[in-house]
Amino acid sequence: MKRRGLSLLETVFASGLLAGVVFMLFNLYPASALAVRRSQDHLQADQIAQTYVALYQAEPFHQLAQLPNHHSWTLSEVSVEGTNTKFKPSIEVLYGPDGSDPDVLRQLRVTVSWDWVRGPQSVTQEIFLVDLEN
Amino acid sequence: MKRRQAFSLGNTVVVIAVASTLAFTVAAASLNHLNYSNRVSNGIQAQNIAESTLALVTEKLLNEKSEDLGKLREAGSSFTFQLNGGQGFITFNPDQAGKWELPYSTNNLDGPNPVPGYTATKPIPQNSAQLIARGTIGGVSRQVECILYIPPFPYAVATAGPFHSTGKLVVGALDDALPDGEKPAPEEILKANLASNSRDAKALVLGPDSRVSGDVRSAGGVETDETVYIGGRIRPGSDPVKLPQETVTNYDPEHFYDPKTNSYTTRPNLQKVPPGLNNSPKVSGFAKCTGDLNVKGGLELDGGVLYVDGNVIIDGGIRGKGALFVTRDLGLYGSTQMKTDNKVAVVSGGNVSIFGSGQESSMFQGMLWNKGAFSAQHITLMGVLIQADENATTDINDASLYYQSSQGKLDMTISSPGSVDVTKGNIHISALGLPITGIVTGSAVFEVYPTTAADGHWEVVDPNSRQIYSVPNKAAVRDKVKEIWNGSTSGGLVGVGPGGSGVLVVPLTVLGPLFWPNYNAELNDIPAREPGASQMLTPGSSERITIDPNQLLSRKDKVRLLYWRAR
C-alpha cells in the first residue's frame, strides 16, 4: 500500500518534472535557434557592409571626392543563400572632421538593415578613406 | 512491480538529464555563436577604426600646413579619434607610445636620409613616413602599419600632349653621369618610364629602332612596330599621370613673392640683361631680360637665374648651374659637352626646340619643363623632360632621353649681392684674364670703388685677405692692385663673382699682361659707396633655389603607399 502510493507520487513527480523540462526545452530551443539565426544575420550584415567598404576602398578616390557632404543612396537588396533574410544596404559619404580637405579625406558610412521578427535590425560600419592613388 | 517502478523513475531522470544536457548545449552553442559574431564584428570595426586613424593622420601629413607633424616627437604629436563607438590611437611621441603600448610612428617625408623607426633593425627610408595606428572596440584591438613614400618624379619623359618619335629614340635611366662622348652600355641603362596624357589614338608613337627601358603609358593609344623594344609594360588607355604645373611669371625676379613681407617685390640688385644679341654671357645671381634675347657662343649660368620676358635663341648651348625662365619660345642650338657639374633647369611658357649635332656630341643636362610644343633632334637629354600643354605635340628625332633624378632637379644657393650695385665698375676678371665690359658678368671681382667720403678716397679690397685698403684717388688704384696681386701667396688672385658666389684664381704671370691695358676702362662709372661698403665682406644674404618637378606637385599628388600590414 505504502509502496503503491509512493509509486503514484513518484509517477506524478516524474511526469511533472518531465513536463516542466519539456516545456523549458520547447522554449529554449526556439530561443536559441532565434539567437543563432540573429547572430548569423548580424554576421552576414557585417560581412555585406565590409564588402561595400572594401569595394569603395578599391574604387578610384575621385569618385567619392566629387560627392557632396552627406550624399547617400540605397543599394538593391541582398539575399544570402540558405536564408530568407533580405538585407538592405545603404551608403552615405561625408566630409572628414572640420578643417580636413574633402578632396583628400572622406568618411564612408555603410548601413545594412533587415527585418527581424522582433523589429528591424541594422549594423553600421564607418571608415575614413584617404586619397593615396598615385 | 517494484522493478518496473524503479525503472520508471530512473528512466525519467535519465531522460531529464539528457534533455537538460542538450538544452544547455544548445544554449551554450548559441551563446558561443553570439560571442563569436560579436568578436568578428568588433574585429572588423576595430580594423576600420585603425585604418581610419591612419587615414586621418595621413590627411594631416598631406596637408602642406601641417607637414611637420610629428617631426619633433613632442607630446602634442599624439592623436586619438572616436569612431563608431570605438577609439583609434596613433602617436609620434615615444613616451606616449610606451604608455599606450603602441609602437610610435615616424615622419621622415622630408628627410634626405633613413632614420631609425620604432625598431632599430627597421630604419625608415628617406622621404617616407611610418604610421602605426590601433583601433579598439569592445575589448578587441587591431593594429595597422603603413609606410608612405614620396618618390622622385617617376617619369623620364611625361607629356600632356601627344609624343611622337620618328625613330632611334632611347629612353632609359642612368645611375652615373655619362662620360663625355660615350654611349652607355645596354646593361648600364636602367628602367625609366615614358608617359603621355593625350587621349589621341596616336598619343604615343615610337618610331623604328626605339628603345624604352621601362613602362610606356598613355591615356590614348600607343603605336609601335616590331623593331621597337619596350622593357616594361605597354599601358594604353591608362589614367593620365599627374604632371607638374607651373606659371613662368611666378619666377619673375622683378615681381617675386616675398613670404616675409607677404607682398610682391623686386629682388635686390637684380641685373638687367639688354635684349638683342649677347655674346657668351655669363650669369650669376638673378638677372632679367625684357624682350627677345639672342645668344651667341652659349649661355653660362654660374649659380645664376636668368628670366627672359620674351623669346630666346641660344646658339652654343647652356652650361654651368642655374635656371633659365622664358615666358615665350626657346630655341637651343648646339649644345654643351657632358660635364658632371652642368645642371640647368629650363622653364618655358612657350615652344621649346633643341637641336644638337649628334647624340654623342651634344648634350643637355637638367630639367626641361615647357607649356607648348617641344622638339628635340640629334641630342642626348640627361634629366627630366616635362611637356605640359595638352594641345601641343612633343616630337623627338634621333635623341636619347636618360632619366637621372639628380639631374632632374636643381638645388642651388644664390648669394644676393645686398644693396651694392656690382654690375657697374669694379674689376671683373674673366677666366681669360680680360676685363669684361658687359653688364652680365660673373667672373672674379677685384673690388675697387670710390667712396662718398669728403676726401673722395677710393677703396681697394684684397680678394685674398678680404682686407679693405684705402687709396687717395683713382690713379693710386693701379699700384695698390699690383701690390696686392704681386703679394699673393697662392700663385694668383682669388676672385669672387658678383654677390660673393663662385671662386676663381687668376694667375698674375699669365693674365696680367692681358689685364692691365684694359683695366682703366673698368674703373669708369663706378657708383660711389659708403666707406667700408665692401661687397666681398658683406655679400648680403644667400637664397636657396630649388626647382624640382616633384616640388611642383602637391604632396597628395605624389605620395604613395609603400607598405601595409594589419594584425
At residue B544, φ and ψ (nearest 5 deg) are: -95, 125
| pLDDT range class, residue B146, cuts 50, 70, 90 | very high
- Using a CB-CB cut-off of 8 Å, the residues of chain B touching A100 are 56, 59, 63
Query: Cβ of A18 and B16 within 8 Å?
Result: yes
Least confident residue range of B20-34, B190-204, B519-533, B544-558: B544-558
Polymer length of chain B: 567
Largest CA distance in chain B: 151
Residue of B37 and A106 predicted with greater confidence? A106
Cα–Cα distance for residue pair B193/B177, rounded to 1 Å = 18
Residue of B447 and B62 predicted with greater confidence? B62
At residue A44, φ and ψ (nearest 5 deg) are: -60, -45
Nearest to B16 among A21, A53, A105 (CB): A21
Which secondary-structure segment (H or E) carries A27? helix A2-58
Residue B248's Cβ-count burial label (10 Å; 0-12, 13-18, 19+) is: buried
Least confident residue range of A39-43, A51-55, A127-131, B387-391: A39-43
Nearest to B560 among A107, A124, A132 (CB): A132
Reply yes or no on whether the pLDDT at A94 is more than 90.
yes
DSSP letter string over B364-432?
EEEEEEESS-EEEEEEEEEEEEEE--TTS-EEEEEEEEEE-TTTTSEEEEEE--TTS--SSSSEEE-TT
Query: So what's the pLDDT on residue B435?
Result: 43
Task: Give the distance from residue B528's alpha carbon to the nearest chain A alpha carbon, in angstroms.
Answer: 55
CB proximity under 8 Å: A 95-114 to B: 96-97, 100-101, 103-105, 107
Reply yes or no on whether the pLDDT at B345 is more than 70.
yes
Query: Cβ of A53 and B48 within 8 Å?
Result: yes
Nearest to A128 among B41, B52, B557 (CB): B52
Reply yes or no on whether the pLDDT at A3 is more than 60.
no
Cα–Cα distance for residue pair A100/A96, rounded to 1 Å = 6
Cα–Cα distance for residue pair A108/A111, rounded to 1 Å = 10
User: Three-class SS of residue B487?
Assistant: coil
For chain B, the average pLDDT equals 79
Nearest to B562 by CA among B148, B172, B210, B60: B148
Query: So what's the pLDDT on residue B65?
Result: 65
Least confident residue range of B5-9, B137-141, B205-209, B349-353: B5-9
Instruction: Give B554's DSSP letter.
Output: -
Query: Cβ of B84 and A124 within 8 Å?
Result: yes
Beta strands in B236-298 (DSSP E): 256-258, 263-265, 271-272, 276-279, 282-290, 293-296
CB proximity under 8 Å: B 131-190 to A: 148
Q: What is the mean pLDDT of residues A40-57?
A: 90
Q: How many CB atoms lie within 10 A of CB B157?
A: 26
Angle between helices B2-62 and A2-58 (to 10 degrees): 20
- Using a CB-CB cut-off of 8 Å, the residues of chain B touching A129 are 55
Q: What separation in angstroms does the CA of A97 have from each of B59, B60, B61, B70, B81?
A: 11, 11, 15, 19, 10
Q: Which residue of B has its CA nearest to A124?
A: B84
pLDDT in tens, B403-443: 876 666 666 656 554 433 444 445 555 444 444 333 323 34
Q: What separation in angstroms does the CA of B149 have from each of A33, B109, B130?
A: 51, 7, 9
What single letter denotes the amino acid at residue B512? Answer: G
Task: Give the distance from residue B23's alpha carbon to the nearest chain A alpha carbon, in angstroms.
Answer: 6
Reply yes or no on whether the pLDDT at B97 is more than 80.
yes
Residue B233's Cβ-count burial label (10 Å; 0-12, 13-18, 19+) is: exposed
Q: What is the mean pLDDT of residues B27-48?
A: 87
- Using a CB-CB cut-off of 8 Å, the residues of chain A touching B62 are 101, 104, 130
Task: Give the distance from residue B89's alpha carbon to the nearest chain A alpha carbon, in angstroms.
Answer: 14
At residue A129, φ and ψ (nearest 5 deg) are: -115, 140
Is residue B416 within 8 A of residue B398, CB to CB? The reply is no
Q: What separation in angstroms does the CA of A2 have from each of A8, B2, B381?
A: 10, 12, 117
Cβ pairs A/B, distance under 8 A: 125
User: Three-class SS of residue B6?
Assistant: helix
- Using a CB-CB cut-off of 8 Å, the residues of chain A touching B56 are 96-97, 100, 105, 128, 130
Task: Give the distance from residue B398's alpha carbon to the nearest chain A alpha carbon, in angstroms.
Answer: 32
Q: What is the mean pLDDT of residues B108-125?
A: 80
At residue B211, φ and ψ (nearest 5 deg) are: -135, 120
Q: Please check whether residue B554 touches A, CB under 8 A.
A: no
Give the best residue of A4, A12, A39 to mutate against chain B (max B CB count within 10 A): A39
Cα–Cα distance for residue pair B60/B86, rounded to 1 Å = 21
Q: How many CB atoms lie within 10 A of CB B297?
A: 14
Write the CB contacts of B565 (distance below 8 Å, at least 6 apart in sequence).
B144, B145, B146
| pLDDT range class, residue A133, cuts 50, 70, 90 | confident
Nearest to A89 by CA among A54, A124, A43, A129: A124
Which secondary-structure segment (H or E) carries B544? strand B542-547
Query: Cβ of B40 and A36 within 8 Å?
Result: no
Query: Cβ of B59 and A104 within 8 Å?
Result: yes
Q: What separation in angstroms does the CA of B515 have from each of B433, B439, B486, B512?
A: 6, 18, 14, 5
Query: Cβ of A125 and B84 within 8 Å?
Result: yes
CB proximity under 8 Å: A 66-95 to B: none
| pLDDT range class, residue B342, cuts 50, 70, 90 | confident
Task: Give the distance from residue A15's alpha carbon to the nearest chain B alpha carbon, in angstroms.
Answer: 8
pLDDT in tens, B461-518: 766 566 778 899 888 887 887 777 666 555 555 544 444 444 445 555 545 566 666 6
Q: Please check whether residue B44 touches A, CB under 8 A.
A: yes
Q: Please check whether residue A59 touches B, CB under 8 A.
A: no
pLDDT in tens, B355-408: 888 887 788 888 889 999 999 998 888 888 999 999 999 999 888 888 876 666
Domain ranges of chain B: 38-150, 155-413, 421-532
Task: Give the distance from residue B432's alpha carbon to the nearest chain A alpha carbon, in angstroms.
Answer: 51
Percent of chain B with pLDDT over 90: 25
Which secondary-structure segment (H or E) carries B352? strand B352-355
User: Three-class SS of residue B242?
Assistant: coil
B401 bridge partner residues: B171, B381
Reply yes or no on whether the pLDDT at B154 is more than 80.
no
Largest CA distance in chain A: 95
Q: Please check whether residue A40 touches B, CB under 8 A.
A: yes
Residue of B369 and B285 predicted with greater confidence? B369
Q: What separation in angstroms does the CA of B234 have from each of B174, B223, B229?
A: 21, 10, 11
Domain ranges of chain A: 2-130
Query: So what's the pLDDT on residue B476?
Result: 86
User: Three-class SS of residue B464?
Assistant: coil
Reply yes or no on whether the pLDDT at B182 is more than 80.
no
For chain A, the average pLDDT equals 85
A123 bridge partner residues: A112
Cα–Cα distance for residue pair B406/B257, rounded to 1 Å = 27
Nearest to A101 among B12, B13, B63 (CB): B63
Q: Please check whether residue A2 touches B, CB under 8 A.
A: no
Nearest to A50 among B15, B27, B44 (CB): B44
Query: So what's the pLDDT on residue B245?
Result: 81
The residue behind cell 618618390 is B151
Angle between helices B477-486 and B508-522 (to 10 degrees): 160
Give the best residue of A62, A104, A124 to mutate against chain B (max B CB count within 10 A): A104
As a whole number of Å, the end-to-end CA separation of chain B is 68
